[in-house]
Amino acid sequence: MNRIAMGARLMIVSDLDHTMVDHHDAENMSLLRFNALWESNYRHDSLLVFSTGRSPTLYKQLRKEKPMLTPDITIMSVGTEITYGNSMVPDDGWVEVLNQKWDRNIVTDETSKFSELTLQAETEQRPHKVSFYVDRTKAQTVMKELSECLEKRGLDIKIIYSGGMDLDILPQGAGKGQALAYLLKKFKAEGKPPSNTLVCGDSGNDAELFSIPEVYGVMVSNAQEELLQWHAENAKGNPNIIHAKERCAAGIVEAIGHFNLGPNASPRDVADFIECKLENVNPGHEVVRFYLFYERWRRGEIDNCEAYIASLKASCVCLPAFLYF
C-alpha cells in the first residue's frame, strides 16, 4: 500500500467464494479476465481487498487452488481479522476494537447447550469467531435464543447466518462491513481515502458491505436468495447497488463499467493486440499484454506474429523513460 502516496483511485472489496472465484468455472476464465484488467489498469494506483468468511488456513488453501492475485489487504474470518500485503501483517488496532465485551469462553459454554449446533472444523474457530453448522429450518429460533443467552452473560455479540448452513458468532463490532468501515476511517485519518469503493458479494455475510455509506455495490448474478432478500428489504431503491447480469468476477468487471469507475475492457477481451493500447504508457499493461501474446502464441492463435512483436517492441522502448520518472 505504500506505493500509493495519495488515496487510491479505486478500492475493490470482494468476497471470494462464488464472487471473485467461480467454483463452477473449471478454466477460471472469469477470474483471469479480472486479473488481467486489474494488473493492466489498476494495480499501480488502486487497492484490492479480499473479504472472506474463510479462516487464514482455508484462505491460503484457496490461493493454492485458484489463480488469485495477491491483494493489498485481506479481511478474513467474517471480518474478524485484517492483514496487509503478501506477508499478511495483522492490524493490531482492529484486534483491540474486537476485544471489547467479548469472551470466547463464555460463547463456547453457552453454545454447548444447543444440540442443534454442530461445531465447524478447528481451523474455522478463531480468536474472535466461533462457527457452527445449523439446519436452515432451525436457524432463526436458535439465533434468537442464543442471542438472549449471551446478552444475559454480559457479552455484546452478533450472529451471522449465511449459505443456508453457516452460523458465526462474532463480537458486535466485527463483520465484513465493520472491518471495511474501520479501514475507510483509517485511510481518512491518514488523508488517503479512496476516490471510489466498490463492494462485491453473493451471500448473507456480505450484506454488511452494502450498508456502508458512499460505496458502490454489486451482487453478482449468482447471488444467493438470502442476499437478494436483504437487498429487497433494505436497499431496493439504492442506485449505487446493482444485481449484475454476469457471474462472479465477470460481474465485478460489469459493475466497474456500469458505475464508470474506470476501464472495464480486460486485455483478455481484446482479439487484436495491436489495438490493445493505452494513451499513457503503463508498465503493468505492457507486461499483461506480453504475457497474453505469449500465451496465445503457444496455442498457435497468432497469425501475424511479426506485427505483434513489432508492436510490443515499440511499447517496450517507452517503458524505461516511464519507469525513471
List 84's β-bridge partners, or say none. 73, 89
Each residue's pLDDT tens digit, 250-265: 999 999 999 999 999 8
Give CATH superfamily name and number for 3-91+175-259: HAD superfamily/HAD-like (3.40.50.1000)
pLDDT classification of 49: cutoffs 50, 70, 90: very high
- Neighbouring residues of 54: CB distance < 8 A, sequence distance ≥ 6: 16, 17, 62, 76, 77
List 288's β-bridge partners, or say none. none
Task: Look over the chain and give the mean of its residue pLDDT values, rounded to a whole number.
Answer: 88
Domain boundaries, the chain: 3-91+175-259, 101-171, 270-318
pLDDT at 218 over 50: yes
Instruction: Give the pLDDT confidence score for residue 164 in this predicted structure.
Output: 86
Each residue's pLDDT tens digit, 136-173: 999 999 999 999 999 999 999 999 888 889 999 999 99
pLDDT at 64 over 90: yes
Instruction: Give the pLDDT confidence score for residue 92 in this predicted structure.
Output: 95
Topology given in CATH for the domain delimited by 101-171: Hypothetical Protein Ta0175; Chain: A, domain 2 (3.90.1070)
- Choose among 68, 56, 53: nearest CA to 22: 68
pLDDT at 75 over 60: yes
Each residue's pLDDT tens digit, 124-134: 999 999 999 99
32: part of which helix (H) or strand (E)? Answer: helix 29-41
- Burial string for 23-44 (b: 16+ CB within 10 Å, else e) reads eebeebebbbbbbbbbbbbbbe
pLDDT at 277 over 60: no
pLDDT at 276 over 60: no
Helices (H) and strands (E) in the chain, counts: 10, 12
> What residue has cell string 458505475?
259
Instruction: Give the pLDDT confidence score for residue 270 in this predicted structure.
Output: 73
